[in-house]
Amino acid sequence: MSRVWDFFGGFRLTFRHLSRPRVTRGYPEEKRPKQPRQHGRHVLNRYEDGMEKCIGCELCAGVCPAKCIYVRGLDNPPDHPVSPGERYGYVYEINYLRCIHCDLCVEACPTQAITESKLFEFSFTNRADAIYQKSQLLVDDQGFPQRMPWEDWREGEAAMTGGWMRATSPAGDASFEGLVQWSGELGVGVRVPEAGQGDSRDDAATGTKALRVEFAKHFDPDQREDRRGGPKK
Protein backbone atom coordinates (compact mmCIF):
# COMPACT_ATOMS: atom_id res chain seq x y z
CA MET A 1 0.00 0.00 0.00
CA SER A 2 2.78 2.38 0.92
CA ARG A 3 4.25 1.87 -2.55
CA VAL A 4 0.99 3.12 -4.06
CA TRP A 5 1.17 6.24 -1.91
CA ASP A 6 4.82 6.71 -2.81
CA PHE A 7 3.85 6.50 -6.47
CA PHE A 8 1.09 9.14 -6.26
CA GLY A 9 3.10 11.16 -3.78
CA GLY A 10 5.62 11.73 -6.54
CA PHE A 11 3.01 13.78 -8.39
CA ARG A 12 2.57 16.18 -5.48
CA LEU A 13 5.32 18.47 -6.70
CA THR A 14 3.89 18.43 -10.24
CA PHE A 15 0.38 19.36 -9.11
CA ARG A 16 1.71 22.04 -6.77
CA HIS A 17 3.41 23.77 -9.68
CA LEU A 18 0.40 23.59 -12.00
CA SER A 19 -1.13 26.68 -10.43
CA ARG A 20 2.13 28.66 -10.30
CA PRO A 21 3.28 31.22 -12.90
CA ARG A 22 4.99 29.55 -15.84
CA VAL A 23 8.74 30.33 -15.94
CA THR A 24 9.57 28.67 -19.26
CA ARG A 25 9.30 30.35 -22.67
CA GLY A 26 8.60 28.97 -26.12
CA TYR A 27 12.17 29.64 -27.26
CA PRO A 28 13.27 30.29 -30.01
CA GLU A 29 9.89 31.67 -31.15
CA GLU A 30 9.70 33.73 -27.99
CA LYS A 31 12.87 35.29 -26.58
CA ARG A 32 13.39 36.74 -23.16
CA PRO A 33 14.19 40.47 -23.01
CA LYS A 34 17.93 41.11 -23.06
CA GLN A 35 19.90 42.64 -20.23
CA PRO A 36 21.08 46.23 -20.77
CA ARG A 37 24.75 45.16 -20.91
CA GLN A 38 24.29 41.98 -22.91
CA HIS A 39 27.40 41.12 -24.91
CA GLY A 40 26.42 40.01 -28.40
CA ARG A 41 27.56 40.32 -31.98
CA HIS A 42 29.88 43.32 -32.51
CA VAL A 43 29.30 46.41 -34.60
CA LEU A 44 31.78 48.95 -35.93
CA ASN A 45 30.32 52.39 -35.30
CA ARG A 46 30.36 55.59 -37.33
CA TYR A 47 30.19 59.25 -36.27
CA GLU A 48 27.06 61.27 -36.90
CA ASP A 49 28.56 62.67 -40.12
CA GLY A 50 29.05 59.12 -41.42
CA MET A 51 32.83 58.86 -40.84
CA GLU A 52 34.11 55.64 -39.36
CA LYS A 53 35.21 55.71 -35.73
CA CYS A 54 37.90 53.06 -36.12
CA ILE A 55 41.39 54.53 -36.49
CA GLY A 56 43.13 51.22 -37.06
CA CYS A 57 45.16 51.38 -33.83
CA GLU A 58 44.88 47.60 -33.21
CA LEU A 59 44.41 48.02 -29.44
CA CYS A 60 41.33 45.77 -29.62
CA ALA A 61 43.34 43.07 -31.36
CA GLY A 62 46.14 43.38 -28.82
CA VAL A 63 43.89 43.02 -25.79
CA CYS A 64 41.71 40.21 -27.15
CA PRO A 65 42.38 37.10 -25.04
CA ALA A 66 41.08 34.79 -27.76
CA LYS A 67 43.19 36.39 -30.52
CA CYS A 68 40.17 36.57 -32.76
CA ILE A 69 40.48 40.14 -34.05
CA TYR A 70 42.60 40.98 -37.07
CA VAL A 71 43.08 44.68 -37.88
CA ARG A 72 45.21 46.46 -40.40
CA GLY A 73 45.35 50.26 -40.44
CA LEU A 74 46.04 52.45 -43.44
CA ASP A 75 46.74 56.18 -43.84
CA ASN A 76 43.61 58.12 -44.61
CA PRO A 77 43.45 59.37 -48.22
CA PRO A 78 43.82 63.19 -47.90
CA ASP A 79 41.07 63.87 -50.42
CA HIS A 80 38.43 61.56 -48.97
CA PRO A 81 39.34 60.46 -45.44
CA VAL A 82 37.45 57.49 -44.04
CA SER A 83 37.96 58.43 -40.37
CA PRO A 84 38.85 61.71 -38.60
CA GLY A 85 42.21 60.28 -37.52
CA GLU A 86 45.47 59.85 -39.41
CA ARG A 87 44.58 56.27 -40.17
CA TYR A 88 41.52 54.11 -40.48
CA GLY A 89 40.75 50.43 -40.16
CA TYR A 90 41.46 49.14 -43.63
CA VAL A 91 40.99 45.48 -42.69
CA TYR A 92 38.89 44.44 -39.73
CA GLU A 93 37.91 40.85 -39.01
CA ILE A 94 36.44 39.04 -36.01
CA ASN A 95 36.52 35.26 -35.86
CA TYR A 96 33.35 34.18 -34.06
CA LEU A 97 34.56 30.63 -33.74
CA ARG A 98 36.91 32.02 -31.08
CA CYS A 99 35.21 35.08 -29.59
CA ILE A 100 34.11 34.67 -25.95
CA HIS A 101 32.24 38.01 -25.85
CA CYS A 102 34.29 39.31 -22.94
CA ASP A 103 34.08 42.90 -24.30
CA LEU A 104 37.73 43.65 -23.50
CA CYS A 105 38.02 44.93 -27.07
CA VAL A 106 35.18 47.37 -26.35
CA GLU A 107 36.88 48.65 -23.22
CA ALA A 108 40.26 49.01 -24.93
CA CYS A 109 38.99 50.98 -27.93
CA PRO A 110 39.89 54.69 -27.59
CA THR A 111 37.18 55.91 -29.99
CA GLN A 112 34.20 53.66 -29.09
CA ALA A 113 34.44 52.26 -32.60
CA ILE A 114 33.83 48.66 -31.59
CA THR A 115 30.81 47.88 -29.41
CA GLU A 116 28.43 44.95 -29.12
CA SER A 117 24.79 44.52 -30.01
CA LYS A 118 22.56 42.19 -27.98
CA LEU A 119 22.36 39.54 -30.68
CA PHE A 120 23.87 36.19 -29.74
CA GLU A 121 21.75 33.89 -31.87
CA PHE A 122 23.86 33.47 -34.97
CA SER A 123 25.24 30.17 -36.16
CA PHE A 124 27.13 29.14 -39.25
CA THR A 125 27.48 26.22 -41.57
CA ASN A 126 31.01 27.07 -42.71
CA ARG A 127 34.13 28.78 -41.40
CA ALA A 128 33.99 31.66 -43.87
CA ASP A 129 30.62 32.84 -42.53
CA ALA A 130 31.98 32.75 -38.98
CA ILE A 131 34.76 35.22 -39.77
CA TYR A 132 33.02 38.57 -40.05
CA GLN A 133 34.60 41.15 -42.32
CA LYS A 134 34.59 44.90 -41.86
CA SER A 135 31.88 45.24 -44.52
CA GLN A 136 29.58 43.12 -42.34
CA LEU A 137 30.50 44.67 -38.99
CA LEU A 138 30.21 48.32 -40.04
CA VAL A 139 26.82 49.88 -39.24
CA ASP A 140 24.65 50.80 -42.23
CA ASP A 141 23.86 54.32 -43.45
CA GLN A 142 21.15 54.66 -40.80
CA GLY A 143 23.62 53.67 -38.07
CA PHE A 144 22.17 50.23 -37.35
CA PRO A 145 23.79 46.79 -37.55
CA GLN A 146 23.67 45.02 -40.87
CA ARG A 147 21.76 41.75 -40.71
CA MET A 148 23.23 38.56 -42.08
CA PRO A 149 20.86 35.86 -43.39
CA TRP A 150 21.87 33.47 -40.59
CA GLU A 151 21.28 35.98 -37.77
CA ASP A 152 18.05 35.94 -35.75
CA TRP A 153 17.43 39.60 -34.89
CA ARG A 154 14.47 40.60 -32.72
CA GLU A 155 13.16 43.86 -31.35
CA GLY A 156 15.63 45.66 -29.09
CA GLU A 157 18.68 43.62 -30.00
CA ALA A 158 20.06 46.36 -32.24
CA ALA A 159 19.30 49.07 -29.68
CA MET A 160 21.83 50.54 -27.28
CA THR A 161 24.86 48.77 -28.70
CA GLY A 162 27.73 49.07 -26.27
CA GLY A 163 25.82 49.32 -23.00
CA TRP A 164 28.82 47.73 -21.34
CA MET A 165 31.15 50.41 -22.64
CA ARG A 166 28.93 53.16 -21.28
CA ALA A 167 28.50 51.42 -17.94
CA THR A 168 32.21 51.00 -17.25
CA SER A 169 33.61 54.24 -18.60
CA PRO A 170 35.96 55.39 -17.22
CA ALA A 171 37.43 52.68 -15.06
CA GLY A 172 34.18 52.27 -13.14
CA ASP A 173 34.74 55.40 -11.02
CA ALA A 174 31.43 56.13 -9.30
CA SER A 175 31.98 59.88 -9.44
CA PHE A 176 31.66 59.69 -13.23
CA GLU A 177 28.26 57.99 -13.16
CA GLY A 178 25.79 59.67 -15.46
CA LEU A 179 28.41 61.73 -17.30
CA VAL A 180 28.53 61.38 -21.07
CA GLN A 181 32.08 60.65 -22.17
CA TRP A 182 31.46 59.24 -25.61
CA SER A 183 30.78 60.71 -29.00
CA GLY A 184 27.55 60.64 -30.98
CA GLU A 185 26.75 57.84 -33.40
CA LEU A 186 25.33 57.91 -36.89
CA GLY A 187 21.52 57.82 -36.86
CA VAL A 188 21.38 57.72 -33.07
CA GLY A 189 23.20 60.78 -31.71
CA VAL A 190 24.70 60.81 -28.24
CA ARG A 191 23.58 57.79 -26.24
CA VAL A 192 22.17 58.36 -22.76
CA PRO A 193 24.26 57.05 -19.87
CA GLU A 194 23.19 54.39 -17.48
CA ALA A 195 22.55 55.60 -13.95
CA GLY A 196 24.94 53.28 -12.18
CA GLN A 197 23.96 50.46 -9.92
CA GLY A 198 21.10 52.22 -8.13
CA ASP A 199 17.37 51.83 -8.65
CA SER A 200 17.34 55.09 -10.57
CA ARG A 201 18.39 53.42 -13.79
CA ASP A 202 16.07 54.51 -16.58
CA ASP A 203 15.23 51.39 -18.58
CA ALA A 204 12.99 53.30 -20.97
CA ALA A 205 15.68 55.87 -21.81
CA THR A 206 18.37 53.24 -22.29
CA GLY A 207 16.15 51.18 -24.59
CA THR A 208 16.05 48.13 -22.34
CA LYS A 209 13.36 46.22 -20.55
CA ALA A 210 13.13 45.83 -16.82
CA LEU A 211 14.27 42.24 -16.72
CA ARG A 212 15.03 42.41 -13.00
CA VAL A 213 11.34 43.09 -12.36
CA GLU A 214 10.36 40.05 -14.38
CA PHE A 215 12.87 37.90 -12.52
CA ALA A 216 11.99 39.30 -9.10
CA LYS A 217 9.78 36.37 -8.17
CA HIS A 218 12.64 33.97 -8.87
CA PHE A 219 14.88 35.81 -6.42
CA ASP A 220 12.37 35.33 -3.63
CA PRO A 221 14.10 33.10 -1.03
CA ASP A 222 10.89 31.19 -0.20
CA GLN A 223 10.23 30.18 -3.79
CA ARG A 224 13.88 29.43 -4.46
CA GLU A 225 14.30 27.03 -1.57
CA ASP A 226 10.98 25.38 -2.36
CA ARG A 227 12.04 24.69 -5.95
CA ARG A 228 15.22 23.07 -4.72
CA GLY A 229 13.29 20.86 -2.36
CA GLY A 230 15.01 22.40 0.65
CA PRO A 231 13.44 23.67 3.86
CA LYS A 232 11.15 26.69 3.66
CA LYS A 233 11.74 29.51 6.09
Shortest CA distance to 76 belongs to which of 90, 62, 65, 64?
90
The interface region with ligand SF4, picked from 51-59, 149-157, 163-171, 221-229 by CB under 6 A, is: 51-59
In the complex, what is the shortest distance from the CB of residue 144 to ligand SF4, in angstroms, rounded to a whole number?
18
Three-state DSSP at 157 gives coil
Sign of CA dihedral 153, 162, 94, 132: positive
Binding map of ligand SF4 across residues 72-111, x = CB under 6 A, - = no contact: -----------------x----x----xxxxxxx--xx-x
Q: Please tell me whether residue 43 adopts helix, strand or coil conformation.
A: strand
Cross-strand bridge partners of residue 151: 122
Q: Which of 37, 38, 41, 54 binds ligand SF4 (CB under 6 A)?
A: 54
Q: Which residues pair with 89 in a beta bridge?
A: 73
| Residue among 81 and 196 whose Cβ is closer to ligand SF4 | 81
Give CA–CA dist 15/133, Å, rounded.
52
Rounded least distance, CB 185 to ligand SF4, Å: 14
- Candidates 43, 114, 137, 138; binder of ligand SF4 (CB under 6 A) is 114
Q: Note whether 43 binds ligand SF4 by CB under 6 A.
A: no
By the rule CB under 6 A, 138 interacts with ligand SF4 = no
- Amino acid present at 128: A
Q: Which of 179, 178, 158 is nearest to 116 (CA)?
A: 158
- 167 touches ligand SF4 (CB under 6 A): no
Candidates 126, 99, 125, 123; CA nearest to 42 is 99
Answer yes or no whether residue 139 interacts with ligand SF4 by CB under 6 A: no
Q: Which residues bind ligand SF4 (CB under 6 A)?
A: 54-60, 64-66, 68-69, 71, 89, 94, 99-105, 108-109, 111, 113-114
